[in-house]
A and B are shown apart, each in its own frame.
Chain A
């Protein structure tokens, strides 16, 4: 019985993960990050790993709303900040434990999603983006006004720690990050994700297919707010601070840069972007004079040669799409692993496959 189950898990593992280089690599990197904290107790490395997993969730939640549903949100920090402040203030004034304040903060972020979603969804395209850009700035103003509760520029500090040790915090963040990113990926891969794609591609056609696009867009705002909110609450408890920088325009743009760098409308792209860029920028703190220049040049060069982002570019190199059944295959294979179609550009398939391997751009 148990042998049977183990056998099935092993076969699924082999058939779903090991056959694709992209997934294998993701698994290896994931394992390396999981083991790293055990090998080094350096607080600084633990901090980088923790923050990377928090921001991976944040970037993936932006991707869910803006990449998949196409509602370009330029004020994503709103969700992060609302959750961070809610968690921090609940913890400081009501003495609630982090286990309660983080979910409550996330609920506050969902409420924020509803609050900006309902009025903003009357707007489309750039107008929606501009409206979303305004909300975190407004909230920042509010934070400065109610100084006695929010601490103004200094923020809410002195809140309780997430866990006893830095190592425990790091592992909690890692587990949470991995499971939330997988959950977001699962959502986008489901039937709900199909509707999200359709709304981005052509909203009027989606309506004419009987989809209540307003309700689904609102749902996307709430889901995105939920995940960004969990990340925000977590961040506040990890830093033991909720400050106005969490509502900053820069933080919103960080999510956008990470996601576009990694590959938009693919959850793994957002995660890749954070995993590459965030530690890289931490390392660059050793050279403060050229840090931002290096950042800008990297982004420009990468997007010049990989306009779809790092992750899709890499996957296109190591994986091939079967022209017949559209299953992905390792670049080493001659035949498709599902339908046995010849993959190597032979005489009879070369003409047909050329246009189909890349993503159509328009």
Chain B
């Protein structure tokens, strides 16, 4: 059997009396795009922050390519090949957009192909090109609209050429046309290939999203989180018809 790509087991995180993530276990294969959905406060973003190493879990394990990553520093996790975006975008506000992405290119993983500082700028430009904001490259991030900041987050995440990409609400603040474009880009990123100087060997993905109709089109499998627990997993079709999911989103009356 193939070695497990990414696996979470019994992950628990408590904030005081609130259990935000409650014994969550799931696995992601390299060749799939997994959607993570759930009502507000279900613990999705907390789960992602734990995977990215920003929050420390109380118990459980996270294994990536056979290695335990729980308790490692965020930068070590990125340099092992997991990159994520923030739901509330966190740009380096007073720096030009290209510099925002160059920071990620300067991380050890961003330059592991022997690309030292000379080509960093070109590579960052390619990441911006991919995200569709290369024409704004020299503007400071503080001048960007919310939708463009979302794209900046994605450009910064893919600049490290991750093998597992975690997107926290990538479509938030985008209009339908932009959403469709971004969805296409995400599929392209998942299939793999070269985008200028950026390589993608086809990355596994976890996408958190509220725009379910868009999400269902691009994911292979959906995990539903409710009060910190997984209440359902399955293909988009199965999830849409699952009564437990409908109940979680709409309440008993709605079902």
Contacts and interface: CB of A to CB of B under 8 A. Distances in A.
Interface of A: 191, 194-195, 197-198, 201-202, 204-214, 325-326, 355-356, 359-360, 362
Interface in B76-117: 78-79, 83-84, 86, 90-96, 99-100, 102-104, 106-110, 117
A233 B221 CA distance: 65
A211 B107 contact: yes
Contacts of B109: 210
Given A197-B99, A209-B160, A204 B54 contact: yes
Contacts of A212: 73, 75
Interface residues of B, number: 38
Interface in B28-62: 52-54
Which of A206, A207, A325, A359: most chain B CB closer than 10 A?
A207
Given A197-B94, A210-B107, A355-B143, 5 more contacts: A202-B90, A205-B90, A207-B54, A208-B90, A210-B104
B86 A205 contact: yes
Given A326-B96, A360-B142, A207 B91 contact: no
A194 B121 CA distance: 12
A206 B54 contact: no
Contact of A360 (B120, B143, B160): B143
B246 interface: no
Contacts of B75: 207, 210-213
A200 to B, nearest CB: 8
Contacts of A201: 91-95
B73 A195 contact: no
A325 to B, nearest CB: 7
Main secondary structure of the interface of A (DSSP, over half): helix
A356 B156 CA distance: 24
Interface of B: 52-54, 73-75, 78-79, 83-84, 86, 90-96, 99-100, 102-104, 106-110, 117, 120, 138-140, 142-143, 156, 159-160
Contacts of A360: 93-94, 140, 142-143
A201 to B, nearest CB: 4
B108 A210 contact: yes
Contact of B52 (A191, A197, A208, A326): A208
A210 B90 contact: no
A255 B31 CA distance: 56
A209 B104 contact: yes
Contacts of A207: 53-54, 73-75, 78
B54 to A, nearest CB: 6
Nearest to B120: A191
Given A205-B86, A209-B156, A211-B75, A362 B93 contact: yes
A233 B106 CA distance: 35
Contacts of A206: 92, 103
B91 A202 contact: yes
A211 B142 contact: no
Contact of B95 (A198, A208, A211): A198
A212 B75 CA distance: 6
B142 A362 contact: yes
Nearest to A210: B107
Contacts of A356: 139, 143
A360 B139 CA distance: 11
29 contacts: A191-B106, A194-B102, A195-B106, A201-B95, A204-B90, A205-B90, A205-B91, A205-B156, A206-B103, A207-B54, A207-B73, A207-B75, A207-B78, A208-B74, A208-B86, A208-B90, A209-B156, A210-B78, A210-B79, A210-B104, A210-B160, A211-B106, A213-B75, A214-B73, A325-B138, A356-B143, A360-B94, A360-B140, A362-B142
A208 B106 contact: no
Contacts of B52: 208
B29 to A, nearest CB: 24
A30 B211 CA distance: 60
Contacts of A362: 93, 142
Contacts of A197: 92, 94-95, 99
A262 B104 CA distance: 31
Contacts of B78: 207-210
Nearest to B76: A212
B229 to A, nearest CB: 26
A362 B94 CA distance: 10
Which of A197, A205, A355, A360: most chain B CB closer than 10 A?
A205
B35 to A, nearest CB: 21
Contact of A208 (B54, B93, B96, B142): B54
Contacts of A325: 138
B36 to A, nearest CB: 18
A208 B102 CA distance: 13
A340 B205 CA distance: 44
Contacts of A202: 90-93
A194 B94 contact: no
Contacts of A191: 102, 106, 117, 120
A235 B54 CA distance: 44
A205 B74 CA distance: 10
A125 B15 CA distance: 23
Nearest to A209: B104
Contacts of A214: 73
A194 B142 contact: no
Nearest to B159: A209
A245 B78 CA distance: 46
Contacts of A326: 96, 138
Contacts of B94: 197, 201, 359-360
